[in-house]
Structure 1
Amino acid sequence: MSAQRKDRRDLFFIAALLLGILILFMLPIGYVLLQNHFATVRAHRMLVHARALLRQDGLPLSVDEMNRLTTPPPLAENAAPIYDKIFMNFNQNPQWSLLERQTYPLLDNWLATIPIAPFGFTTSRPSASAMTPAQQESLLHVAQQYVQSARAQFPLTAKAVALPYCNFQRNWSLGSNLTFPEYSQAYKLIRLLLLRALLLDRAGKPLEALQQIDLGVKVAKQIGSDPVLLAFLTQYAMEGMLQRAWMRVVENHANDPQVLQCADKVSCDFGHGPDLIRDMYSEALWTELTSRVAHAEGERFLEEVNPQLTSPMPLGNSSESFLTHFWNRLLGKEQSKSLAAPTIDLMEANMLDYLHNFIQIEKRYANDPYQAMKAVQQLSADVSDAATRAPKEYFLVSVMDSNYQTTAIKGIYLRAWARQRQLVLDLFKYRLQHHQFPKDLSVFPNEETLDPFSDRPMRYRRTVQGFVLTSVGERALAANTSSDELTVRYPLSK
């Protein structure tokens, strides 16, 4: 009997020991599972809250919402079909491209600048100033030939800009795979209009030249109305060229009150800043669509995104379950390359939260671009610090942050250009009345003299023959920037 009791005690002891071992083994697993559960709940709550904020801002988070916000206008009010015809004409006449490329030095020399490529990057080409008079005449002949060959584009352009809307009816479900071939074609149209303005100005027809510049400004605004950041950056690049052409015509005819009056009207048609909420439509939608791709194809998603990052994310996933991690390590496998669902939700939530904060900054400082840019820079610094601690959760922000900072800065450029155009007109009108330029800018309203980049008066210096007017540009925002100041010199020194 005692032997049986001893056997039972031994069995009970062994069972208790095994149960204890099992409990000890299950405790960390249970802890990790509980941890993952709370992480999932937290990520979901953050995502729901971020989506609610974006919808309050008026941004779409689904293709259906985007389609409702971009409903095509009546055909009779939509300029897009006319632009399609204009762009088709470019494609069907390859000889135009050959003629256009030959005129690059001529137009670049007239604009007195290194040309601005379609999306804001500079390129280098030979300057026409180094050419002989015979070579310049030859280029003028090519420009006339090109403008004459493409003359049917001008009435079509005038018809397009007279319409109130421009909607190209995008297939938003393509997400980041959506392309925008119209933008490069629109850039060709701008250069054609500028060539015609150059020829008209040389022919002593400044009013007609300003009309061509005005057409270009309206084209840029219609293209920029597309609800994507790329559309605004395209508009910015085109307006940079149009701004310089406007300056050339005004400088060449500064003593003609009629020209100054016409130039004033054209100046009012230029853009004065991005329509930020509309430009962010695509950013909110693409964030949502990108998140769906990450949920469906975590490994391929990481492989495609990593090359875009300055510091690529480690492919191993620290958020994978304890059991998966233990089993992989036991079998000698590498960590999973997939992304856990809570991590993806946090990626999207942080990106949407960034967009919301960015929009709120721009709304709060709508009339103070300098303070807006400083706040955007602080936002960028904050998310950069957060990304250092949690690179996966903030990788979408890391990829896109520089684009939004660029957008904010380009918006200030548009304001600075508008301020310089106004001051140039004021200076020339002052000279017509007083037969000389003023000693300083105090004779003009203070708000007209402020530099949007610094919130201080623009630098002005009267010279023997004219003046120098300077905006400090991006240097006011970052001491280490290599960007040049925005300087207007009269008379122009090439």
Structure 2
Amino acid sequence: MKRFAIAAAILLSVFFAFTVMHKFQLVKREELRVERQNHRAYLSEIQLAQADGITFDTSNFNVPSPPPSEDAGLIYEHIDAELKAHPFSKDEKDALWAARRRRLPTPAEVARLRSFVLGRASLLKLIHQAVALKQCSFHTKWGRRHPYADDFQSGIVIDKLPNVLTAESIVLAEDGDWEAAVRNQCSGFRIADHLLTTRGASAHIRCTSTVRTILTGIRILTRLGAQKPSVLTAVQSSLSAPLPTPRLSRTLQDEITFNDIHLEMLRIVVLRSKNPDDIFIKNELMDWSPMRPFARNPRHWNSFMDANIAVLIHHLREDSKAADGPYPEVKAKFLMSRAELRRYSSPDYFLVKELTSDDIDDMPSIGDEDIGLLKSSANNDAEARVIQTAAVLLLWKLNHGAFPEKLSTLGPVPMDPFTSAPLRYRREGAGFVVYSVGEDGTFDGGSPGVRPKPYAPHFRFPTPAYELPRAEQTKKSGRV
């Protein structure tokens, strides 16, 4: 009996050991299957991206520079050197503020702008030289060893230059040189053209911001010259050409390149680290600690990175294919893509979850950034069409004595990029408002006494209180 009990115990021990070993082998087989599946998905996305013309080496962004005599980039370097040697003073920054707003400048603000223009004659000369050239290279050395360096392209201070041109244009208009004012203001579009030679989302944002600033200046000139046919004709003509607009598809493809380089750098850093736990800490931006379990095993870490990179490339690649279509269709595609990305809540897709989350302060998620880039370009397009249509309406009034009852009286009505339907228009007493429905499709033109919030592209005439010089607005409203 005792021998039987011992034999039974041995058999049970062997069976238990066999069961544990079998389950362990099943787990290992499943891990291996998932690792292979993730790696195949990763390799497949890389190949599909390359077939779409996407590169994973930023050195492929390098292009030959134009001849020095035709290269505006060299002039921008001189501008950068001048602004670093003689940065804007507080008074100059305050003066330029009047060139950044939609509100008409007061006489005191015009006087400050005049003083600024006279004091910065050498800077303006350089800007005019730069915008006179079609070709531009910012001489970015793509493909540097540290991948994060590629995000920070030329440090040239180009963002402030459109405001400087707007300041000069307002002064020219106040001096009665109206056509020169419009011509000078529209020359700022060449700065945006030059920015089209740069790459990535940051370059896209700088380009659309430049266009927005130039359009704000054209709006001011249109209001100031509302009774001058030559001004209105010049505005109409200048906005008939397409705006300098970055191709969103190329921007998203560039972001695939940058994201992949940064994530592959993270992969390598962890694999080479002696203590990966020290890398993944909780800081004020992100809690990286959930990645520690994956980082402790090289195979698990590679599989984790393969899975996350494959998902991100796939969705950005699909978004890039649709990115240059009509706004309503592209927005719907981006929103659907963002919703799909946010379904990845498993710890195995921690990077996908974090990079597409709204929880990181001051850092737009991947999906939100794509929609933001789409909106900024559509806003500029709508603003240009609204201002151009307003100029045509003001010309009609000068020629016929009254504004038309319908916008179609003027001829083909420009399309609202947010809806692919005609711009809206209505008479308001002796004036009018022409407008886009805006990015959420609900703007109805508003009313003369209330500033639209959020702003939607529109042009109201006569000048509404919220765009009058501040002193006049205060006087009208009865405030002191």
Alignment check: 8 A CA contact 1:61 1:288 kept: yes
1:381 aligns to what? Answer: 339
Taking the aligned partners of 1:457 and 1:273, their CA distance within structure 2 comes to: 21
Alignment-mate amino acid for residue 462 of structure 2: P
User: Deviations for 1:92-145, whole angstroms, at most 9, x for unmatched residues?
Assistant: 113x33342230453356x318xxxxxxxxxxxxxx76xxx6xx1xx4444333
Is contact 2:45–2:313 with CA below 8 Å preserved after alignment?
yes
1:68 matched to 2:55? The reply is: no
Q: More helix by proportion, 1 or 2?
A: 1
Identity in percent: 18
1:143 maps to which of 113, 120, 123: 113
CA distance in 2, matches of 1:355, 1:449: 31
- Structure 1 unaligned blocks of 5 or more: 1-5, 114-127, 325-335
1:341 alignment counterpart: 302
Q: How does 1:107-126 map to 2 (within 5 A)?
A: 107-108=99-100, 111-112=102-103
Which secondary structure state, in structure 1, belongs to the residue aligned with residue 402 of structure 2?
coil
- For structure 1, which segment, 344-353 or 457-466, has the greater mean C-alpha deviation from structure 2 after superposition? 457-466
Deviation at 1:47, TM superposition (A): 1.1
CA–CA distance in structure 1, aligned partners of residues 442 and 318 of structure 2: 20
Contact 2:252 2:317 in 1 (8 A): no
**SS of aligned partner of 2:435:** strand
- Quick one: which of 264, 269, 291 aligns to 1:297? 269
Distance 2:269 2:59 in 1: 26
Q: Which of 85, 89, 112 is 2:82 aligned to?
A: 89
Per-residue CA deviations over 1:56-108 (Å, capped at 9, x if unaligned) read 2222112xxx22233232343432221111111111113x3334223045335
Q: CA deviation at 1:474?
A: 2.0
Distance 1:178 1:143, change over 3 A: same
Contact 2:426-2:433 at 8 Å conserved across structures = yes
1:156 alignment partner, one of 90, 103, 126: 126
CA distance in 2, matches of 1:28, 1:358: 42
Pairing of 1:173-192 with structure 2 (within 5 A):
173=144, 174-178=146-150, 180=152, 185-192=157-164
2-structure distance, mates of 1:39, 1:197: 63
Partner of 1:211: 183
Alignment of 1:309-458 (within 5 A): 315=290, 340-363=301-324, 366=325, 368-387=326-345, 391-392=349-350, 394-395=352-353, 396-398=355-357, 399-446=365-412, 448-458=413-423
Cα pair 1:346 1:393 within 8 Å, conserved: no
Q: CA deviation at 1:316?
A: 5.6
Of 90, 102, 109 in structure 1, the residue corresponding to residue 94 of structure 2 is 102
Indicate how the Cα distance of structure 1 residues 210 and 182 shifts in structure 2: closer, same or farther if over 3 A, else same. Answer: farther
Query: How far does residue 439 in structure 1 lie from its aligned partner after superposition?
Result: 0.6
Structure-1 separation of matches of 2:244 and 2:134: 20
Aligned equivalents of 1:215 and 1:44: distance in 2?
51
Note if contact 1:217-1:270 (Cα within 8 Å) is conserved in structure 2: no
- Do 2:290 and 2:347's aligned partners in 1 also have CA atoms closer than 8 Å? no
Which amino acid is 1:199 matched to? V
Please tell me the residue identity of whatever aligns with 1:72: P
Q: Is the 8 A contact 1:217 1:269 kept in 2?
A: no
Aligned to 1:41: 36
Secondary structure at the counterpart of residue 460 of structure 1: strand
Match of 2:434 among 458, 461, 469: 469
Map of 1:57 onto structure 2: 52
Asked if the contact 1:272–1:415 (Cα under 8 Å) also holds between the matched residues in 2, the reply is no
| Whole-Å separation in 1 of the counterparts to 2:172 and 2:23 | 81
The C-alpha deviation readout for 1:227-268, integer Å capped at 9, x for no partner, is 111111122222222112102212322343332332234324
Check whether the contact 2:308–2:352 (CA below 8 A) recurs between aligned residues.
yes
Q: Which amino acid aligns with 1:206?
A: W
Whole-Å Cα distance in 1 between the matches of residues 239 and 278 of structure 2?
49
User: Which residue does 2:361 correspond to in 1?
Assistant: none
Equivalent in 218, 228, 243 of residue 256 of structure 1: 228
Please give the TM-score of this superposition, normalised by the length of structure 1.
0.79
CA distance in 1, matches of 2:71, 2:300: 43
Q: CA RMSD in A?
A: 3.4
Secondary structure class of the residue paired with 1:85: helix
Letter of the structure 2 residue corresponding to residue 429 of structure 1: L
SS at structure 2 position matched to 1:359: helix
Partner of residue 120, structure 1 = none
How far 1:387 sits from its partner (Å)?
Answer: 4.1
The alpha-carbon deviation at position 344 of structure 1 amounts to 0.9
Task: Give the deviation of 1:469 after TM superposition.
Answer: 1.3
